[in-house]
Structure 1
Amino acid sequence: MPEGHSVHRIARQFARHFVGHEVAASSPQGRFAAGAARIDRRTMIDSRAVGKQMFLEFDTGDFLRVHLGMYGAWDFAGEVALDATAASANGRMGQTNQRGTVVGAFEDSLSSIGAPRRTRLRMAEQESLRDDGAAVPDVFPPDPIGQVRVRLLTETVVADLRGPTACDVLEPLEVAAVIAKLGPDPLVDDLDEGEARFVATVRRKPTPIGLLLMDQSVVSGIGNVYRAELLFRARLNPHTPGRNLTDEQARGLWRDWVHLLRVGVDTGQMMTIEDLDPEAYARALASRDDRHWVYHRTGEPCRVCGTPIVMEIAAGRKLYWCPKDQA
């Protein structure tokens, strides 16, 4: 499932290419025809993410809300301006199966946008140039491929949505109600207020911290990868009840999430091992195996103590941790 950094990157692609433009909305699949009709030929005026949910606002006051869930993805095509972390990867980017080395990965990808060029870009948990650098057909817009729930189209760019968990058109009060149920997001909320909310919530809960970090009402945007890595970086046992954490431990988790989320948005990668030399950093960008402390490393030696990493099922999701360093 896409974690917070991916959804923020998608929202900013919409800000670059759709906000300020009249948008033709349709539902090639047919399942969202009524919703598409409400926003068809309206001007998009805002695009924002809160945790794992995205809200596209139109001049009617309506919002298109999208939660990608496990299988959802956006495909962009047309004159897409790729940022430094996407344009230079020469292929697939994201959580798995990246090819190539990212150039300029330390650049702020939100301001280092290249000139628009005709291309295709998939954005979900992983980002990829669909044509892998090959020429893109001159026909625009391209025909929908597969079960496209929503197609959003301007004169130069098209975005196709497939397989979302949630896709609906909401009024402002309905959007406010959805957001009110979400925990703080470091890229949306005031950092001090967000920290205070997070700490207060965690420290009154008997629930294990490994489950609290995945609860979107406690904190927005954290998924399986960031959960495992945050806990290892803090050397916290995932089974520790939230109320047993000290103030310092809870604040440390929030502040590390602030940091890692920014890194994820800037690089397009869930980069959780730091202070690497240039060669090791290039390897980490190119391979998940060199990017994380414990995630997806069942049975492999801990990078700190050598103890085999443990994987267990917690609330239906895989939890990775070191039984010695996080004892």
Structure 2
Amino acid sequence: MTWIRETATPVTAGDWSFELRDDDISTIRFHGVDVLRSVRAVARDRNWATPQWTISGVADVPGGIRMSLRTRQLGADLDASLTATADGETLTVVFEATSAVEFPTNRTGLVVLHPPQLAGSALRIEHADGTEDTTAFPVDIAPLQPAFDIRSLVWEQEGLRVTCTFDGDVFEMEDQRNWTDASFKTYSRPLALPFPYLLAAGETVRQSVSVTAEAVPDVAVPDAVAGTAAATSGDAHAAPAGAVATAAGAEALAFVDAGTMPAVSVGASTAPDAGPVPVPVGADLLVEIDLGWAGWPAALARAAGSGLPLDVRLVIAARASG
């Protein structure tokens, strides 16, 4: 296992800004308003394992950047590029990948993460045939996809009307909160279609997402001061002290002093190579040691370096009876 140490490189492109975190275009903002959590390119093999991209270079292009990517893992042999360019109110991300070999894949293309603050916001969906539906980003965790057959998505937030238009495949959305990731994910290749499917040797995948942010008429884009004023004014509808307010001013969460926090155990990583220096968290550290694995002494030594009491549990192969 290799530890991932992300470094954030800020990029400004016209009215847009974002961060490059490894191969991820993240924290996408328009005039400082968070519009998308991230856009990234992914490849998945037939078992949903993820070949990791190697970044061979990042170059400036008119209006943005182009990232050159390569992977030679899990049967994939892909050379790719991820380009993000701004033109006024629109930011466009284009992914192109060419496979050198036949590659059975469950998904190769773009995924978009929407921020969890959109929960409850009205959502308009344009389908591939031009028809439209209206729904909302789920408030409660949705076990099934909240949107199918997506050509474009339209919603409003913080005085902006945001339109995301997808090209290159049929997209759909899932609620990532099912897997403890606070986001909604729009991805390509509907799960109702058979998988894996085959990328032929020499085949090129090209997908794009264009996000346009426009000011909603007669609605001002709030700044940090305006957001604070609602909670500190004499408004009878202001959130109580300690509450977290949504963009619409509705109370989302209130913290109450309930006494001493009970003791919490945390689990130790069993990665064999040197990792970050652990910061003591919790009352003790749970370590599961598989004695059949050669790397267990290193994992145990690193856990001991946390300074916390250890709860060590051994994993021993069962012997067949008789």
Q: What TM-score, normalized to structure 2?
A: 0.26
Please identify which structure carries the higher strand content: 2
Q: What TM-score, normalized to structure 1?
A: 0.25
